[in-house]
Structure 1
Amino acid sequence: MSDSLASHSHSSSSPDNRATLTEWLNYMQQIHVSAIDMGLSRVLPVAEALGVIQSAKDDAYVFTVAGTNGKGSTTAVIAQICQAAGYKTALYQSPHLSVFNERVRINGEMVSDEILIAAFSTVENARLQCDLTLSFFEMTTLAALLIFSEADCDVWVLEVGLGGRLDVVNIIDPDMAVITNIAIDHVDWLGDNVEAIGAEKAGILRDGISVIYGAAEMPNSVQQTIDKHQATCYQVGKDFSYRENDSITWQYSNAAVTLQLPRPALSLTNTANALSAVLASPLKVDINAIEQALQTVKLAGRFDYREVHERHWLFDVAHNEQGVEFLLAQLVPLWQQHLAQQNTAQQATGKPATIKMLFSMLGDKDINKVVQRLTTAGLPISDWFIAEIDYPRAATTEHLQGILASYVDDAQIHEFARLQEATHAIINASQPQDLIVVCGSFHTIGEALSALETR
């Protein structure tokens, strides 16, 4: 893979000689006026020039996953099962938490800076030849698809960035589609009601393919798109189901099989949707591959429990109302379990264990609804540590404080200029028996994790 791509890398050293991954990422963020620019008209000629559409059609089995929440977990489980079954598996996800390379993986391994740079160079050449501008997401997605094509992967697992119909991932025809759920998010681009959003997400469907629908309620717009394409739909609660057995096993059932399986470190809802997609595909996957995959799959920032600096941390990228519901459904039982284990530490300090929140969001999200759910869930949240994320669309600390002040006492809100300061402060202000919950955005998690690494 690296040789064939590397051969392109010398052809466009470009005027300013971009030598590092960081230089390329910075450059690609500047060449197009809009960070998000929906539509495929600009990207299709470049994709055709690169040959990535034909490569996917001819050589790979493609899973495309859309939906409001749960796409990352769902794609991670699909990829892990396919890899465990012996398929050379490509996984494309976004955004990343710590390093860009997280977005582009082959058989679970992040691709190297060198491979990414070579691909960016090739995409840039094709873009210039087509005389088009592309957004950062379009450039980087095309590079990922080029890398998968060059690596001759058997299976491509692609996570849609935003919506579906007009997302650059949708230039590739999927063999199997997954729509995890439909909720209100990204209203500026997708619409402010579930019917409009459903129509956008269902834009990934193609004639005659299968689709997994991972929620009990289906908007009419999704059903109409399924009917139009004569797609075969498998919906949770109708065509497959799952239930928890205990903390270590769960049961999955569809019309053909009932499986008792090891419990993964990710949500069972997303795992069941992913498993349904693999089982509905023609890929040959046995029970051993499924069990092995579920025992090893993990995804940073998705109900991600860690012990760092003698503190208990839970990282979750929940950033909208539905995501927070999902988080709370798992957090309440975890808290009970945590309390039972922390008895000794509490006795040593004489202080009860509490939950402390490290929190920040993007300004275009419904912060009020998220805060309302978190503060009314009946959890003993003693303090909120807030700061502005280092990102153009970040909510200001003042804005966060203003919303929080409607729900909790001012004395419980601790404001900081940067998330790194807030992360260090929350360690100093907490006890070993406390649970620190970090949520609100991918960027919140990423900055907190990097602050913990540098402390």
Structure 2
Amino acid sequence: MDMQTALEWLQALPRLAGEPGLDRMRALLAALGEPQKNCRYVQIAGTNGKGTVAALTANILWRAGYKTGLTVSPYVLEFRERFQIDGEMIPQETLEQLAGEVRAAAARCPEPPVQFEAVTAVALLWFSREQCELAVLETGLGGRFDATNAVENTLVAAITRIDLDHTELLGDTVARIAAEKAGIIKPRCTVVTYPVQEKEALQVIAAECIKKKADLIAPAPEDFTFLKSGSFENRFDYGGYQVSLPFPGAHQACNAAMAVEIALALWRQGYAISDEAILAGLESAKFPARIEVLRRAPLVVLDGCHNPSGAAVLAATLKAHHPEKPAAVLGVMADKAVDRLLAALAPAFSAVYTVTPATPRAMQAQELARRAEPLLPPGKVRACADLSQALDLALMQPQGAVICGSLYLAAEARPLLLARLEKTADGLP
């Protein structure tokens, strides 16, 4: 199976099918010889910040000398990002081979897998073949019935900030969503949660920890000291770890604290993880489209925020680091809480150029503009024919530009932005 065929097969699989459950995933793994049993795991669930915590944690473990797998969802630049070992993406020929094996195994199962199940099976098979000592798994949706939850050897379960998202599938309250996310908690594992978790979410997580006899660690906000730093820099002290994080925003400091606590939990379980490895892992991590500063003057920021909580974080970060309101290139998915997302973002921008991201789930640019117009001054919202036009208009604004609203949009925009910025005299930061 060549790369194109592999991608076509994976992407042709349905996103959802039938009742939620793990039977299909367990059957697929059984047909593959139970590869998930050959590794130990850190599982990460939550609404916002999962990818950042996963990337930071995997980088720490790699810096500590452990062969470490990482699977994230979704990808930003290239599909192979979803499968990584020690910071390197899966080789194309390996992905082709493993996708072919998963496809053959799926044909022997009572039910075909959904897309995320097949993708996760590829990752687990690769981690097993490469004899990874540890693997960091980012859940795709929820937790309890997520494909990654078919693993059993979970040493640490981490739950990032929980907010209302995917309510049609996970529930319409924070408590119900927290119950789904807390489904990754395994008996007697260690659980690390977000420092400022919603009270009702924390109550659900704590109750599940008691039920599973799992230790709960919640980083304390009073253990943070934010240090003097420049624009879009992030220097802080957390429990004695003085960190210069490459991701701006107080929320990223909270995500980094979770990664520290995950590493310390593994250290208490006998893994040799030094303070030096923790600091090196945090400070050298790379993760595109998480308030990624591509240029400082004029400002160009790329962010994949796609729900109201993420939008609020982006708006707060811009307010804290950039006195002028930039222009926005905005594209969203139609199945998101678009009006709440707009309410959080609109006050941060001087103008909005709406686009239709290249995916069937996208909201049309004209509809997005119609919803955004009441939130900005007259004449400051424009629906663009395509992304290239929107970028041209936004990059002309002297106060800077922010491209946001969806990871799909971020993936589409990033190479176009880099190409444009490389042509400028000041280049990249």
TM-score (norm 1): 0.84
Is 1:26 matched with 2:14? no
| Residue type at the aligned position of 1:237 | A
Aligned pair partner of 1:243 in 225, 230, 234: 225
Distance 2:318 2:33 in 1: 45
| Residue type at the aligned position of 1:157 | V
Task: Name the counterpart of 2:426.
Answer: none
Distance 1:436 1:33 in 2: 33
Change (3 A) 1:316 1:36: farther
Distance 2:392 2:80 in 1: 26
Aligned-pair CA distance for 1:135? 1.3
Is 1:272 matched with 2:257? yes
Task: Name the counterpart of 1:126.
Answer: 105
CA contact (8 A) 2:36 2:128 kept: no
Look at both structures and tell me which one has the larger radius of gyration over its CA atoms. 1
Task: Name the counterpart of 1:442.
Answer: 407
Is 1:217 matched with 2:210? no
Q: Deviations over 1:105-154 (max 9, x none)?
A: 11001111111111100111111122421111111111011111101011
CA contact (8 A) 2:35 2:125 kept: no
Is 1:318 matched with 2:305? yes
Distance 1:54 1:69 in 2: 26
Q: Bigger CA drift: 291-300 or 30-39?
A: 30-39
Aligned pair partner of 1:357 in 301, 308, 328: 328
Task: Name the counterpart of 1:146.
Answer: 125
Aligned-pair CA distance for 1:75? 0.5
Tell me the secondary structure at the aligned position of residue 285 of structure 1: coil
Tell me the secondary structure at the aligned position of residue 29 of structure 1: helix
How many residues align? The count is 406
Distance 1:27 1:419 in 2: 28
Is 1:203 matched with 2:183? yes
Task: Name the counterpart of 2:164.
Answer: 184
Distance 1:36 1:246 in 2: 52
Distance 1:33 1:384 in 2: 31
CA contact (8 A) 2:353 2:384 kept: yes
Q: How does 1:52-131 map to 2 (within 5 A)?
A: 52-56=34-38, 60-131=39-110
Change (3 A) 1:79 1:33: closer
Task: Name the counterpart of 1:263.
Answer: 245
Distance 1:67 1:33 in 2: 19
CA contact (8 A) 1:29 1:35 kept: no
Change (3 A) 1:242 1:361: same
Q: Deviations over 1:350-370 (max 9, x none)?
A: xxx651101011011111111
Change (3 A) 1:162 1:249: same
Distance 1:232 1:188 in 2: 31
Structure 2 unaligned spans of 5+: 421-429
Task: Name the counterpart of 1:349.
Answer: none
Distance 2:129 2:190 in 1: 27
Q: Deviations over 1:177-199 (max 9, x none)?
A: 00012110001110100111011
| Residue type at the aligned position of 1:374 | L
CA contact (8 A) 1:64 1:177 kept: yes
Distance 1:388 1:73 in 2: 26
Is 1:292 matched with 2:317? no
Aligned pair partner of 2:360 in 372, 387, 392: 392
Q: Deviations over 1:222-255 (max 9, x none)?
A: 22211110110001228x83231222642112xx
TM-score (norm 2): 0.89
Q: Deviations over 1:409-434 (max 9, x none)?
A: 3411121232233223323x323xx2
Is 1:232 matched with 2:199? no
